[in-house]
């Protein structure tokens, strides 16, 4: 059995809670919730079937009734909350990005290792059935060698310029909020043998990247991934993976339930794999399986992958001259 405590009572925490509730697995339990506002935590617990609302995060992570913590606070506090839970010898699933920079990610990895507890970034896209189908097509050579990826993730964030997406103190901006998805997907498919990075970003009035573009060049520029992200322009989140024999198109790739394989000269093959609940159920099951096996690192999303992805994002922000007060 894995008894989960949730840190934070916002929207993403509710997605997690609904997934656990919908799974109806007696071995996966919503045991606690903690928020800076106890009243908010109490309401969350009542609404989502959580056993107990704790008066503080410290009280939750020191409780013998909690085995693992899902960190769902704004990302400037990911490192602080995850570190506290790891030091309390609780397993941690941390919402993306795991931290604000590579140094913080390495710090959390060291803590997980030293305390012999599980740690993983919640890159839930990697665990979706449709993502597994895409990887199978590629591994089976259906499109041959992957030569190019095109990924877009743009939406119009609410409340400009007063909401968290535009607040530098809250780690706002397109890269850390949505850019982490296509970067993670790209390296999952194409790896980290990157020869060159070209990038540009528009830094808005509040000091964060409102939209950005990055070109990752592999093998002397022969193979590339072109990524565009925005929090002020809604251009969707579609992806194309192009190879020597065809291509794969994925709608809403970060939460996709559908992909189409186009092989040169053949009829398209469309696959739809609907989520059982909301998509979080797959990563939650996988993490609980790891914990039950006594693993501290998920072989399907190793620490080094999260670390190297964050280092790519560190490099991009350095190229833009974008730094956060919370680093």
Residue closest to 181 by CA, chosen among 247, 122, 105, 117: 122
Question: pLDDT class for 161, splitting at 50, 70, 90?
Answer: confident
Residue spans of alpha helices (H) in 145-279: 174, 180-190
Which two structure tokens, joined as six digits, stand for 243? Answer: 């190879």
pTM over 0.85: yes
Residues 6+ apart with CB under 8 A from 278: 15, 18, 19, 22
The pLDDT of residue 219 is 84
The pLDDT of residue 9 is 97
Structure confidence by residue, pLDDT tens digits, 259-314: 999 999 899 999 999 999 999 999 999 999 999 999 999 999 999 999 999 999 99
**3 state DSSP class of 264:** coil
Residue 10 burial (10 A CB sphere; 0-12, 13-18, 19+): middle
Question: pLDDT class for 220, splitting at 50, 70, 90?
Answer: confident
Cis peptide before 161 (omega within 30 of 0): yes
The pLDDT of residue 93 is 98
Structure confidence by residue, pLDDT tens digits, 45-86: 999 999 999 999 999 999 999 999 999 999 999 999 999 999
**Domains in the chain, please, with CATH?**
2-121 (3.40.50.720), 129-274+308-320 (3.30.360.10)
Average pLDDT over residues 177-193: 96
Q: For residues 49 and 269, what is the distance between their CA atoms, to the nearest angstrom?
A: 41
Average pLDDT over residues 169-173: 95
Question: pLDDT class for 222, splitting at 50, 70, 90?
Answer: confident
**If you average pLDDT over every residue of the chain, what do you get?**
97
Q: For residues 184 and 312, what is the distance between their CA atoms, to the nearest angstrom?
A: 10
Residues 6+ apart with CB under 8 A from 171: 74, 75, 76, 100, 164, 324, 326
Residue by residue, DSSP assigns 46-96 as HHHT-S-EESSHHHHHT-TT--EEEE-S-GGGHHHHHHHHHHTT-EEEEES
């Amino acid at each position: 059995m894995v008894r989960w405590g949730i840190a934070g009572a916002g929207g993403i925490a509710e997605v997690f809670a609904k997934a656990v509730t919908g799974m109806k697995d007696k071995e996966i339990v919503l045991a606690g919730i903690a928020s800076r506002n106890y009243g908010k935590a109490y309401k969350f617990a009542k609404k989502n079937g959580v056993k107990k609302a704790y008066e503080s995060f410290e009280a939750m992570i020191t409780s013998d009734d909690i085995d693992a913590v899902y960190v769902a606070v704004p990302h400037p506090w990911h490192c602080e909350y995850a570190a506290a839970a790891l030091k309390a010898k609780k397993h941690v699933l941390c919402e993306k990005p795991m931290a604000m920079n590579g140094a913080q990610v390495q710090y959390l990895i060291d803590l997980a290792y030293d305390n012999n507890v599980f740690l993983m970034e919640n890159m839930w896209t990697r665990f979706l059935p449709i993502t597994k189908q895409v990887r199978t097509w590629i591994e089976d050579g259906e499109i041959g060698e992957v030569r190019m990826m095109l990924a877009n993730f743009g939406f119009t964030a609410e409340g400009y310029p007063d909401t968290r997406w535009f607040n530098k103190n809250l780690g706002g901006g397109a890269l850390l909020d949505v850019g982490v998805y296509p970067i993670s997907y790209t390296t999952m498919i194409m790896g980290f043998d990157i020869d060159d990075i070209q990038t540009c970003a528009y830094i808005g009035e509040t000091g964060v990247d409102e939209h950005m573009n990055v070109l990752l060049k592999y093998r002397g520029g022969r193979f590339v991934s072109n990524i565009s992200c925005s929090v002020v322009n809604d251009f969707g989140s579609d992806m194309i993976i192009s190879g020597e024999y065809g291509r794969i198109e994925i709608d809403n790739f970060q939460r996709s339930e559908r992909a189409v394989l186009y092989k040169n000269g053949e009829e398209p093959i469309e696959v739809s794999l609907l989520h059982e609940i909301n998509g979080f159920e797959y990563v939650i099951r996988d993490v609980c399986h790891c914990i039950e096996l006594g693993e501290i690192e998920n072989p399907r999303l190793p620490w080094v992958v999260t670390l190297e992805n964050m280092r790519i994002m560190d490099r991009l922000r350095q190229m833009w001259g974008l730094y956060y007060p919370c680093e």
